[in-house]
Structure 1
Amino acid sequence: MSFFSFRQMTNIDMLAPRKALLVAGADAHSLYYSQDVQKMAPETVDLVVVPGADHVDLYDRKDLIPFDKLDEFFTKNLA
């Protein structure tokens, strides 16, 4: 039950100064978490929503993982 009482935005101020990329499935029950984080720091948090994917699909469905977006983000922000 402690998971359900976790305040997801508790440390957003620690994240916000840094660029971040969130990847979420369009069909994921947890999509709203990523959307809320992106709304809290829209200048620094990019959100990629993958059509036709749920949360678990993005762990092992290589055909759904947006490798091009990951490559683009890390190439730009870790250079």
Structure 2
Amino acid sequence: HTSVIQREAYEYYRTPRCSYPTSVNRYLVSSNDKLAAFDAFAYLDTVAPRPLLFIVGSRADTLYFTEDAYRRAKEPKKIHVVEGASHVDLYDKPEYVTQVVEALKEFFGKAL
């Protein structure tokens, strides 16, 4: 069985929703070790004290990464959870993108 995010990524990238005619649709298995060794949190503390906004869908497979990053981040920070949205939903579904844009405008309108 494939994961939710794999199925959603296929639906997004490999259908008319977002496909591109020159895409080769290849994944290098030899990249797995590099992906596994990558630590997205290694330099999170260097972002502070810049304003940091985390946006995530409540149904996102990646929700736990976002919550962990939020806990580790220094202030000023905010997390915005889009109820009912998955990770890929936030890419282009108007009912979710509208909420994301509003969150961005509000946060950076105050923070910048």
- TM-score normalised according to structure 1 size: 0.86
- Could you list the runs of 5+ residues in structure 2 that have no partner in the other structure? 1-31
Residue 40 of structure 1: which of 72, 85, 97 is its match? 72
- Could you list the runs of 5+ residues in structure 1 that have no partner in the other structure? none
CA RMSD of aligned residues (A): 1.3
Instruction: Work out the CA distance in 2 between the residues paired with 1:15 and 1:34.
Output: 15
Q: CA deviation at 1:16?
A: 2.3
Q: Which one scores higher on RCO, CA 8 angstroms, separation ≥ 6?
A: 1
User: Relative to total residues, which structure has the larger helix share, 1 or 2?
Assistant: 2
Question: Which digits, 9 at most, give the CA deviation of each residue in 1:20-74, with x for residues without a partner?
Answer: 1111011111111111111012522211111110111101012112222111111
Q: Tell me, yes or no, if the aligned pair for 2:59 and 2:86 is still in contact at 8 Å.
A: yes
Residue 110 of structure 2: which of 73, 76, 79 is its match? 76
Aligned residues: 78
How do residues 51-62 of structure 1 correspond to structure 2 at under 5 angstroms? Answer: 51-62=83-94
